[in-house]
Chain A
């Protein structure tokens, strides 16, 4: 009996948040200052977290929408910041706002760009120099997006936003162990998915 690739792993879900995570992130002074109305402090938090927010959104919405929604997320967070009691939880709190904003986008928005489903069956590109990379990139992004949330999010943060595993853990509030496992399992699933959906890929060539 065929078993789906996804079914073989028990993903580590988001609630596996480290109690210690965020404590050493150095965010507390900035969050407290921002809560007191310091715009510069909030700007620093923006710079520190914008890639995380973008990555979380990109894992769920079309890329062009993700750019717009980044601003929405921070603008939503700003007036609510005073209500955040545990300032060490700023990262996970902001990540939750981003995930909710993505959900809200799908609830309200028109049918979005089908970046998700057709890429895996795409034929090898025969187009001019330069375009090959774009098509492959879109197909690869689609393949990542087809993975379960817990895998696609860290993979996008790692490969799209260029964050390291420790950074992902620090920003999202997950434990190092969770991020490490999900990165590795996600990569394993991605390789399998890519091979299944891109039969044109040469054997041994990988992704």
Chain B
């Protein structure tokens, strides 16, 4: 009976349930059993050596030892620079061709290696590879790409995509995985995207799941699933837009973001964007609020307000002044991702660089 398979796996296998089992089974428990401390077993027994096992004396001693150890290790690290860090390496698997990690070439199906901090992985025009860290996610590297592991820690991982294309599926908490490109950095806010870098350092980011922050020098774009954003070495990330936006809107945005336009042409481009924007494109107009001048901003406000009315507490005056809490509240009204995640990342990861949002 079909239902028995859901209950106890017996009966005729249900293909749908088998697909779910296969799909979700990858999230199952994988960890090792920890070494449970003996002290926890003994906790409820009164100790004859209570003076040494409780109170401030041992805590003070432990803190002193810890401080000493940190100081010594810090000194040692400063005195002995290392070429390759001992930080967590990423597993590299060959998918096709002969991808190279440092001087090592993965030339057979069984070849696997690791990418360590500082190392470069290169794929030629017939090679593809995957990078994997269990706690972070998986990265698929397309042909003709160059990827360097910049940082790999327990709460922070950073790659540099110098050229080519990667596809990232990330399950680390938001803000912990960053990919630098020559013209912007992509900050994962959960959970899947494709990033491409051209020879001239320009690039494109397409989000397929969750949303991604794209930033350079305090110039930020948020790209939700189904949207994309271009970036240029000088200007940084452009204005993001949904890929199903009209061709006119996309062309006008491209001109507005990256071309040297006369005042009249700029005005025309902006009016085209406003005219073509659908309700779904409200998030594009939200970004533009930060990118237009004071004379242009009221036009943006009126059109945005007609598409997605400002939530309670968000005023015209506040918006025109780019009041940060109001702008955040309006973003959240789009239901594309909670912007507090980004604010948290800004504060925690890069406070000096990113005080200003979406500017």
Contacts and interface: CB of A to CB of B under 8 A. Distances in A.
Given A131-B169, A161-B29, A162-B28, A111 B34 contact: no
A117 B192 CA distance: 13
Contacts of B27: 58, 63, 137, 141, 160
7 contacts: A50-B31, A74-B34, A113-B172, A117-B337, A134-B169, A138-B191, A165-B8
B210 interface: yes
Given A64-B135, A79-B43, A110 B210 contact: no
Contact of B20 (A37, A119, A128, A159): A159
Contacts of A19: none
Contact of A51 (B17, B28, B172): B28
Contacts of A75: 34, 36-37, 40
Nearest to A50: B29
A122 B43 contact: no
B208 A158 contact: no
Interface in B5-43: 6-9, 16-17, 19-21, 23-31, 33-34, 36-38, 40-43
Interface residues of B, number: 62
B225 interface: yes
Contacts of A138: 169, 171, 191-192, 209
Contacts of B344: 110-111
A112 B174 contact: yes
A187 B41 CA distance: 41
A10 B138 CA distance: 39
Contacts of B40: 75, 78-79
A59 to B, nearest CB: 11
Given A114-B174, A183-B6, 14 more contacts: A63-B27, A75-B40, A113-B173, A127-B208, A129-B95, A130-B138, A134-B192, A140-B24, A159-B17, A159-B21, A161-B29, A164-B9, A165-B7, A187-B17
Contacts of B190: 113-115, 118
B31 A67 contact: yes
A47 interface: yes
Contacts of A54: 28-29, 31
Interface stretch (A24-32, A38-46, A86-94): A38-46
A70 B210 contact: no
B219 interface: no
Given A111-B174, A118-B190, A137 B29 contact: no
Contacts of B258: none
A138 to B, nearest CB: 6
B36 A161 contact: no
For the residues of B in contact with A, the DSSP-based class is mixed
A50 B33 contact: yes
Contacts of B8: 164-166
A158 B30 CA distance: 16
Range class of the A interface residue count? 35 or more
A138 B340 CA distance: 22
A13 interface: no
Given A54-B28, A122-B225, A37 B172 contact: no
Q: Max chain A CB contacts within 10 Å: which of B25, B30, B340?
A: B25
Interface string B153-192: 0000000000000010101111000000000000001111
Contacts of A136: 23
Contacts of B135: 64, 67
A148 interface: no
A114 B340 CA distance: 12
Interface in B122-176: 128, 130, 135-136, 138, 140, 142, 167, 169, 171-174
Contact of A39 (B3, B41, B338): B41
Contact of B24 (A39, A70, A130, A160): A160
B48 interface: no
A180 interface: yes
Nearest to B7: A165
A144 interface: yes
B7 A183 contact: yes
A135 interface: yes
B173 A67 contact: no
A43 B16 CA distance: 36
B16 A79 contact: no
A34 to B, nearest CB: 8
A207 interface: yes
